[in-house]
Structure 1
């Protein structure tokens, strides 16, 4: 869910020019102001309509249209559950998460396309696959996806600003703080996901690829809780310390201000991650 900044718009417009799709074909359901506050304020000040291209979901709606064009499927109603694009997406999601397609729990996302429900443990396993898709065995159902998943991982690692935005987005900030080591993605309703690539631990030793998923139970209205819990989890997982932690300090212990702009309170994480053997045992 990108922030709707100008760089996101320029990237989508370039895709449109190369492929022949257009903003008019996007079916996000609403124009919506961009998530980025400064961009939204500028558009409002200038009286500029944002258009569906600035919608946070415009990127993957464009991807559905490109998938349809690649296979020669009709672009009309690409968002419907029985459209070939959604059926193809459902199969890939099921394989990535290790769930039979018939067992997927689905609903509708806020932008109108099907979305899926998974236990956090399954999400963490899927993000571990994203971190190191090349390591899966040849007889693993996910093996055929490894090359494509690696392309997605490397694109996110190489362009973290396209995942979130350039300002106040934890997913982008975390990837920039740990370049080449972390893929991060925020989701709706307080969901945060991380693919941790193999590498050294902060306090010595090395670690295999792993996935981390967390959910704030009361949803996404309280960004402070999700951000603080995310950074603290990365610290306890041995991924984050030193300069990288200092860069993310505003997410780790976010401040709340009083009406005069003075610091009034601090969100402070207070939990300990259970050892993996306890979670599996």
Structure 2
């Protein structure tokens, strides 16, 4: 590690002010940033911890929309959405291990936008709205590529709004050591159609599989996906699996998610 300053503001306004300083970076649960600091992949002069800001925490539901504070941990999401959005609760409850789930936050995950993270698939398939200290961003506009989002410098995710679907499920084929998704597919059925979001597979990060959405909107069954596939071009290839392997898994995990959603 190296020397740096750390501040713990008590309000979003104070955090935004602190992030306006030179070489300042927000710190949520630290599950990605702290390892990056240890490896010298990041070296901010000041860390602005968001953990003391109570207004960033909590889960509420109103009018068919679930609102989760950006500083809410995965463990809290898993516990407090079990009855309102079971598919999201199951996703959150299977992230990492207990230590990660008790520290990592939904806002931190979405801000980082790791190409194998689980929450981006849930947000994209749910047609979520990402709320920041200055605006609201539709999920379709928010995710812009691997580790890339619409967030501007110093912008903080304060909440995530997710319309609750009629049916939904998330299926993850995980890398056993990290428990990140080699391929994860979130399927959500709404009155006006079905959304399918895929994480872990593409070099461009999380994406919607429009061909599967069209088929499932007409017939919400695993058999509706027979014969459909995503191209291997542009899929991640590494020591865990080739691009063709991941492309195959996309179809398999989508079918499993539809079956699980019922």
Query: TM bucket by the smaller chain?
Result: 0.3 to 0.5
Return the TM-score normalized by structure 2: 0.34
Identify, as 1 or 2, the structure richer in strand: 2
Return the TM-score normalized by structure 1: 0.32
Structure number, greater radius of gyration? 1
Identify, as 1 or 2, the structure richer in helix: 1
